Amino acid sequence: MSGFTITFDTGFHITFENGWTVSVQFGFGTYCDNRYIAPAHASANAEVAAWPAKGDWYRFKDGDTVRGYMTPAEVLAFMNEIAAKEQDQ
């Protein structure tokens, strides 16, 4: 099922029609400017990750499964990349 989920007051998940979920986090404990600030309801950058309904998490070129300190434009580009992936089987 596609849709949105709030996550522990630190960000959100969005699941696309293709079955992939993107996590965008920008609160305490995440890789962003608010890493040591609680509560934090706004940030200039965020941490992202993605995974399919079945299978392994998305891996960035360096092999990591999480990318931090991404700008809004970078987050949008990442979300578009994940949304364009083939349907999760």
Other residues' Cβ atoms within 10 Å of the Cβ of residue 53: 13
pTM: 0.91
Other residues' Cβ atoms within 10 Å of the Cβ of residue 49: 20
Residue tagged 């999480």 (tokens): 66
11-47, pLDDT tens digit by residue? 999 999 999 999 999 999 999 998 988 787 899 999 9
